[in-house]
Structure 1
Amino acid sequence: MEKEKTLSKASQSETKFASVQDYKIAYRSIGDGLPIILCNRFRGNLDDWDPAFLDSLAKKYRVITFNHKGLASSTGTPHETILGFGKDAIDLADALKIDKFILGGWSLGGWAAQVITTEFPNRITHTILIGTKPPGKVNHNLEEIFIKTAYIPDYTLEHETILFFEPTSEISRNAAVESHKRIQERENKDPKVRAELWEHYSKSHDDYINDPYNTREKLMKTNVPILIISANHEVCFPPENWFELNQKLPTATLITIAQTGHGPQHQYPEMIARYIDNFIESN
């Protein structure tokens, strides 16, 4: 007899809404313990986190994912600054009566996490950055294939493999298939971010590069422990940009993973969760 499939906690988690001023932030919460609030990537919604990664973290932590203001199932007008994107995490924490928390961010969410880490250091105990880049201008840019693929309206498995995995690696290609299956487990899907709203990401990107908050310099003086998780072939944000800051970031730990792409937490969900837990326990 075929074994009955058991859905993960993340796949079954309820979408809730936190009221912030005149709009609502859609979020999901699983697990107990110290709270981890995760900021999402370009075009990412509540369904775009691999449930195996969230479930692995939720064994020890309260894991909170959310949609930024005005995107997917959150209401309001989307932000046009990276500080605005990051401030959503603070506003959500306030609505949930969370004082201090671990802040995580993937890709564009990692930009938001860095700005918030330096603007609200008393609220953040640890910062986890996945597949992202430092603020300001960088010397190593994304590859053209990422831009061509990232703006395709509906991603297929092939597109996801290009964007978040390492297409030249059989290990990574196989992991892409499994991660895709896990993400598709959920029955009640979150709305996608509409294409006409994508320009808000571009404006926040310009804001991040211009760095009016002086985030880059503030990171060199922060006391908040920072874990940076990258890949040997980051089609979007090459780890070389972090290598150049290795001598300047006093609290940062950098991990790069072989045969992996822009979404290492999708390829190795349990392992990345263990790295994060070990880092938090040790700092």
Structure 2
Amino acid sequence: MTTATALDYATAPNWSVHADNGIDYAYREIGTGAVPLVLLQHFRGNLENWDPRLVDALAAGRHVIAFDNVGVGATTGTTPSTIAQMAHDAIAFIETLDVPQVDILGFSIGSFVAQEIALTRPAIVRRLVLASAAPRGAAGMHGWAREVIGAVGKPQPDPADYLGVFFTSSPASLQAGMETLGRIHGRTTDVDAPTTWATQQSQYDAVCEWGIPDHNALHRVSAIRQPVFIANGDRDPMILPHYSHLLAGLIPHAQITIYPDAAHGFLFQHAAEYAADVTAFLDAEVH
């Protein structure tokens, strides 16, 4: 790993680290702090799909690390088709940080992986932040609605489809979406490799497997004992906000916030407020 970090995400260099599982992981980091905050990305997203405005706000008082999991972007290997294996792959990257514990922020499919990391290797997780999340086995999560997967599941991304899923139809939300797209696509040098169609297919297979209705699987998350902050937009069409409430009821030490007039990209639309809420959660004393 590097020993110095950049001042902002938009200009931070891409790095690579070789892990014990034989994978070379691409990552980007900014900020400083004793406990790193590791970011787990959404479906088909790579290093470029984090909004720099959000990452910079999160890194104002801590070390923030975004990375591509196996087979994603510039990271080597083949993307697995299960969330469980994605979690093991993420743990292999986290082990390269050589720190006792990390905080984890998982977004969308990244939130599934984050839950599995906390269950598989609880000792390395200090606190957990879940954005647009759902527990394994929840009824109605076996694949996304046809209009959602039709929008985000095409071989080539479409900005209009992105706006339709990540933001609402209100003028304020759409404006926030356009500004987010401008920031996300503003980097022109040292750009991460695009996510392949094979990776997208494997990720969606993993999403579908995770969402097979299973009442017994729902109770797995009750074993998560770390403090957990759960959040979503009130109009997320991809992972409905009622799954956030379900998770908050299943995890013993969870708190929840739902952001108004916001969809799947609520954390980008409400970047300043969300970063402040995440920071307050991560910095709070444990009672």
- TM superposition score normalised by structure 2: 0.89
Does the CA-based 8 Å contact 2:87-2:117 persist in structure 1?
yes
Does the CA-based 8 Å contact 1:8-1:52 persist in structure 2?
no
- In the alignment, structure 1 residue 158 sits paired with structure 2 residue 160: yes
Does the CA-based 8 Å contact 1:140-1:240 persist in structure 2?
no
**Residue in 2 that maps onto 1:220:** 222
Does the CA-based 8 Å contact 2:81-2:202 persist in structure 1?
yes
**Residue in 1 that maps onto 2:13:** 14
CA RMSD of aligned residues (A): 2.1
Give the C-alpha shift of residue 252 in structure 1: 1.1
**Aligned partner of 2:100: which letter?**
D
Does the CA-based 8 Å contact 1:127-1:224 persist in structure 2?
yes
Q: Which shows bigger deviation, 223-232 or 88-97?
A: 88-97
Identical residues among aligned pairs (%): 24
> Which of 178, 192, 195 pairs up with 1:193?
195
**Residue in 2 that maps onto 1:134:** 135
Q: Structure 1, residues 49-78: CA drift from partner, whole Å, max 9, x if none?
A: 000000001111111111111121000122
Give the C-alpha shift of residue 128 in structure 1: 0.6
**Residue in 1 that maps onto 2:256:** 254
Give the C-alpha shift of residue 222 in structure 1: 2.4
Does the CA-based 8 Å contact 1:130-1:263 persist in structure 2?
no
- Three-state SS of the structure 1 residue aligned to 2:9 is helix
**Aligned partner of 1:276: which letter?**
V
**Residue in 1 that maps onto 2:23:** 23
Give the C-alpha shift of residue 209 in structure 1: 2.9
**Aligned partner of 2:232: which letter?**
S
- In the alignment, structure 1 residue 169 sits paired with structure 2 residue 187: no
Q: Which shows bigger deviation, 96-105 or 190-199?
A: 190-199
C-alpha distance in 2, partners of 1:253/1:30? Answer: 27
C-alpha distance in 2, partners of 1:177/1:35? Answer: 30
Give the C-alpha shift of residue 204 in structure 1: 1.7
Q: Which shows bigger deviation, 232-241 or 140-149?
A: 140-149
Q: Which shows bigger deviation, 13-22 or 106-115?
A: 13-22
C-alpha distance in 2, partners of 1:150/1:247? Answer: 29
C-alpha distance in 1, partners of 2:213/2:11? Answer: 38
- Three-state SS of the structure 2 residue aligned to 1:220 is helix
Does the CA-based 8 Å contact 1:37-1:103 persist in structure 2?
yes
Give the C-alpha shift of residue 276 in structure 1: 0.3
Q: Which shows bigger deviation, 105-114 or 152-161?
A: 152-161
Q: Which shows bigger deviation, 20-29 or 236-245?
A: 236-245
C-alpha distance in 2, partners of 1:30/1:153? Answer: 31
Aligned length in residues: 275
> Which of 269, 272, 275 pairs up with 1:270?
272
Does the CA-based 8 Å contact 2:44-2:199 persist in structure 1?
no
Give the C-alpha shift of residue 182 in structure 1: 1.0
- Three-state SS of the structure 2 residue aligned to 1:9 is coil
**Aligned partner of 2:267: which letter?**
Q
- Three-state SS of the structure 2 residue aligned to 1:10 is coil
Unaligned runs of 5+ in 1: 1-6
- Three-state SS of the structure 2 residue aligned to 1:25 is strand
**Aligned partner of 2:252: which letter?**
P
Does the CA-based 8 Å contact 2:165-2:264 persist in structure 1?
yes
Give the C-alpha shift of residue 27 in structure 1: 0.6
| 1:194-213 correspondence runs (5 A) | 194-210=196-212
- In the alignment, structure 1 residue 46 sits paired with structure 2 residue 44: no
Does the CA-based 8 Å contact 1:93-1:99 persist in structure 2?
no
Give the C-alpha shift of residue 44 in structure 1: 0.4
- TM superposition score normalised by structure 1: 0.90
**Aligned partner of 1:61: which letter?**
R
